[in-house]
Structure 1
Amino acid sequence: MEAEVYKGYAIWGHAIREHGDILQSERYAGSGTITIGSKFVEASGVLGSFETEEDAQVAGLAWAHAWIDSHG
């Protein structure tokens, strides 16, 4: 999980390892979460399937940035 503060919101990019065929390379589902203080604001749901944990986390953070920018 990758976290940062953006325009007063705490945002997280999540990477959830997908369980697939043992012969396939690992893949990660990406998602994002936004909070302010200790209050939940919004979560993305699954944004897609990514080849690396880092790519999945970056997608979650990018989603959170865009959500805040469009609702702020």
Structure 2
Amino acid sequence: MTGGVVVVLGGTGRNFAAGMSGGIAYVPDEKGDFNIRFNPAMVELEKITEDETDRDIMAHLEEIRELP
């Protein structure tokens, strides 16, 4: 992915974000081990609060809803 937004609804495998060079991916970390399953070469890992996540995801869904 070189831009855009991805909302992951399930789990991820190892090496998540390999080839990703831009954009945002919202990934649940239910097991608390996502920091060892992503590719840190070109992306940064950042925890966000639930309020931030809800607000951002809802804003993206509103944008999609308004598309023709």
TM over 0.5: no
Higher normalized strand content (fraction of residues):
1
TM-score scaled by length of structure 1: 0.29
